[in-house]
Structure formats: structure tokens, C-alpha cells
Amino acid sequence: MPTNGQRGAPRAIPQLDALPRPLYARSESLGAGSWTPRHRHDWVQFSYAISGVLGVHTDEGSFFAPPQWGIWIPAGLEHEVLTSTRAEMRSLYVRPEVCRWAPTHCRVLEVTPLARELIKRFCALPVQYPEGGSPEERLVQVLLDQLADLTEVGFSLPLPRHARLLALCNELIECPDAEVSLSQWAQRLGTSEKTLMRLFDRETGLSFRSWRQRMRLLSSLRVLEEGVSVTGAALSCGYDSTSAFIAAFKKMFGFTPGELFRQ
């Protein structure tokens, strides 16, 4: 999926043949534009940014985590991770056999205060923490139990597999403020609006209007994180009314732009 903003140097991917323990932690301070090449691994990954907005891109779509939300990436799924601005990221790598409850799709989860503290504590443990019923092993089990209970939120942007429809979606992602109507899309694809509506819903699970609104709101996260005013962010993603943008933003994220980035 195309992304806005300039990319910095690629991040190194840990070269691990296997995880030394059922749970492995990685803490990183990332510069603006940090990214990984597309890759996959044999373990589950859960990453969240203490500060900054985290993005994960896959063939199925893109997933975004503002501060204090996290992204669950199934084992074996090819993905790319990036941050538009500076970020403090925490990642957990989990052996699949200790989280058989986990779904096989990528998802964004709301990180509770308890889960945050448990992750913080676990990140301070040695890589080869004691096993055999040790306090450290019991902490790992509590942390896994907490991860299993985290609530999923809809901070994802599904992408169609239909090649021509995907090309049109990518055009809008690159220019979120573009005023392209469904009838204009239908003309370009040589089909009717009704047929295009059915195709879009089948390919993405969303109506065209809902997909475009979600795309615009998700694109505003990067702009807001860079310090652009709320009015500027609204205009950059296609909203003529700042109040309408704030209302839509709060409905999706549960916070106004100011509240979210003050957390």
C-alpha cells in the first residue's frame, strides 16, 4: 500500500532462528520514517507505540495504532512496519503454541493500563528469564492472559484484491482530499454505480463512503502527529468543516484529536 511521508533508513529485523523463551521483548526508539522491509516470521508479534503512530501494511490492508493501541500480527503473515515520525515502540514476539487462542488475522487492540505495566515489567527481564514455575514465568502467563482479553478496534483499512479497484483505492490513499465520486469511479471501470457498490462491499467489507471516511481519518493521524493544526489536518484529508472532522474523529477513535495526542 502506498504511504505518505518520507522514509528514513530501514530498520534491522532481528535474526532469530527461534525464540529463546515463549515470550521475547524488543524495545526501540525509532526515528522519523523508520520502516522494515516486507518480511514474515514463525512467531506472533504484538507491537505498540508508547509515543508515535505505528503502521503495519499487509496484502489484506493497512493497520494503524495511535499511542496506547497495539497491532497483533499472526505468525507467517508477510508485513511491513513503519512510523512516520519519531516513536517509542515495544514489541512482543510470542511462540504460537502459547497463544493458540489468537486469531489468524491482523488486528488492532486497545492496550489496557494493566497490560502496559506488565509489558513494561517484562521488557526489563533478561531474555532467558528463569522457567520452571519461577515468578518471571508466572508474570509471562499473566501477560499472555491479558493480551488474550484486549479489545479489538477498527483502526484498519481493508484493501481490495481486484487489481483495477485497488489502483483506484491507492490513488485516494495518496490524495485523501481528492473529491472523487462513486459515479466517476464507475465510469473509469466501465461499470454501473450499483455494480461497483456491490464489488466494493464484497472486496473490502465496507461501503465506498465508509471506506473513504475511514481512510481519511486514518491519514489524519500522521498529519496531526507532525504538529499540524486540527483545521489543517481536516483540510488535508478532505473535510471542509473542522467541527465535522472532530465529530467523525471522536466517533472512530473515542477521543478528539487533542485528547488522543495528549495521552
The model's pTM is 0.84
pLDDT score at 3: 44
| Digitized pLDDT (tens) for each residue of the chain, 263 residues in all | 334 445 666 777 778 889 999 999 998 888 777 888 899 999 999 998 888 889 999 998 999 998 889 999 999 999 999 887 778 889 999 999 999 888 889 999 999 999 999 999 999 999 999 999 999 999 999 999 999 999 999 899 999 999 989 989 999 999 999 988 889 989 988 999 999 999 999 999 999 999 999 999 999 998 998 889 999 999 999 999 999 999 999 999 989 998 887 76
Q: What's the topology of domain 23-153? A: Jelly Rolls (2.60.120)
Instruction: Give phi and psi for 35, each to the nearest 5.
Output: -155, 160
Model confidence pLDDT, tens digit, residues 112-169: 999 999 999 999 999 999 999 999 999 999 999 999 999 999 899 999 999 989 989 9
| Distance between CA atoms of residues 263 and 261, nearest Å | 5
pLDDT of residue 31: 78
pLDDT at 263: 62
Q: How far is CA 60 from the centre of its chain?
A: 12
The residues pairing with 191 across neighbouring beta strands, listed in sequence order, are none
Q: Are 108 and 58 in contact (CB under 8 A)?
A: no
Cell matching residue 160:
481490495
Per-residue pLDDT of 40-57, as tens digits, reads 999 999 998 888 889 999
Fold of 160-262: Arc Repressor Mutant, subunit A (1.10.10)
* Alpha-helical segments (H) within 84-241: 113-123, 135-148, 163-174, 182-189, 193-204, 208-225, 230-236
Domain ranges of the chain: 23-153, 160-262
| Strand runs labelled E in 58-150 | 61-65, 69-73, 80-83, 87-94, 107-110
